[in-house]
A and B are shown apart, each in its own frame.
Chain A
């Protein structure tokens, strides 16, 4: 998460609205990644996500005068990105399909973590492995939409709970529940992989670590 509208950013926005349009390039630069990842979390397709990210930035440029400083620029921009993503998804799925907004989480489900006994921690070297990154990308892509979107904003883009709730139009409590489930689903998915990524080794007293 980028800093809130700091004085520099507020000044930048005022100057752009005042006519120094070229400065919009500088305003948007710190948020390019965030915009793309938000789109990708919804449309799950690189080309669609990039096209949507461009539309989001153009829309933000056109509507910058309507941005109110009491909101955070990052949250405002993310809301535009989410709307753009949902629009694209509806278009892709066609009007016959049920609304994407109708998807809700069940009250019950198996959201328990996978227990591990043979390692304490992923060694730093394992975190450097490309296979682990790819496994994580795949696991995130396979999360149900409602969990992936919360997880993306909260843990990838590092929004706080309130900002995530605001951007997605959810209550803070729903954000917390979905985040919790998303994290445990990922933990469960990645554990078998982590076990092979971190081969058991003998520790003190002959205990397997």
Chain B
């Protein structure tokens, strides 16, 4: 089936997750071969997800782990 851009956008998230069926995947890939706009949207969305999963993007407060384990130690000591 020939897909238009809007149809591809509707499935872009599931496509990234690999949860579209084989036929739809093939249709999307055929569309992507000739559509620069959809290819760019796909690349940019993927890159955002790569960046999101990078530990340096969402950092923890300095000293968080230390304070957490101190608090936990108090609790464990209390229950001993």
A contact set with B: CB distance below 8 Å:
21-22, 24-25, 28-29, 32-33, 36-37, 40, 46, 50, 53-54, 57-58, 61-62, 112-117, 119-122, 127, 132-133, 136-137, 140, 151, 155-156, 158, 161, 176, 179-180, 183-184, 186-187, 190-191, 194
* Inter-chain contact B43/A183, CB cutoff 8 Å: no
Is B50 touching A119 in the complex (CB atoms < 8 A)?
no
CA distance A136 to B56 in the complex (A): 12
A155 near B49 (CB under 8 angstroms)? yes
Name the B residues within 8 Å of A191 (CB-CB).
44
Can you list the 3 inter-chain pairs with the closest CB atoms, starting with the nearest? A180-B13, A116-B40, A122-B47
0/1 per residue, B49-62, Cβ < 8 Å to A?
A: 11111111110110
A184 and B13 contact, CB distance less than 8 A? yes
A133 near B57 with CB under 8 A, answer yes
- What does DSSP make chain B's interface, helix, strand, loop or mixed? helix
Whether the pair B45, A119 counts as a contact (CB closer than 8 A) is no
Given contacts A113-B9, A156-B52, A176-B14, contact A121 B72 (CB under 8 A): no
Interface pair B60/A36, CB less than 8 Å apart: yes
Complex interface: chain A residues within 8 A of B80 (CB): 21
Interface residues on B, range: 35 or more
Q: Is A187 a contact partner of B48 (Cβ separation < 8 A)?
A: yes
B40 touches A190 (CB 8 A): no
> Distance in Å from the Cβ of A202 to the closest Cβ of chain B?
16
Taking the nearest CB of chain B, how far is it from the CB of A109, in angstroms? 13
* 18 further contact pairs, Cβ within 8 A, besides A28-B72, A120-B43, A122-B43: A32-B68, A33-B55, A33-B60, A36-B64, A54-B71, A61-B75, A113-B44, A116-B37, A116-B40, A117-B37, A121-B44, A136-B52, A140-B58, A151-B52, A155-B49, A158-B53, A180-B14, A187-B45
CB distance from B31 to the nearest CB of A (A): 14
Q: Which of A28, A53, A137, A183 contacts B49 (CB 8 A)?
A: A183
| Known contacts A32-B64, A46-B61, A115-B40; A184/B6 CB under 8 A | no
* Interface pair B57/A137, CB less than 8 Å apart: yes
Contact of B2 with A by CB under 8 A = no
* Chain A residue contacts of B50, Cβ below 8 A: 127
Closest to A189 in B: B48
CB < 8 Å: which of B14, B53, B71 contacts A155?
B53
Q: Which residues of chain B are within 8 angstroms of A57 by Cβ–Cβ distance? A: 68, 71-72
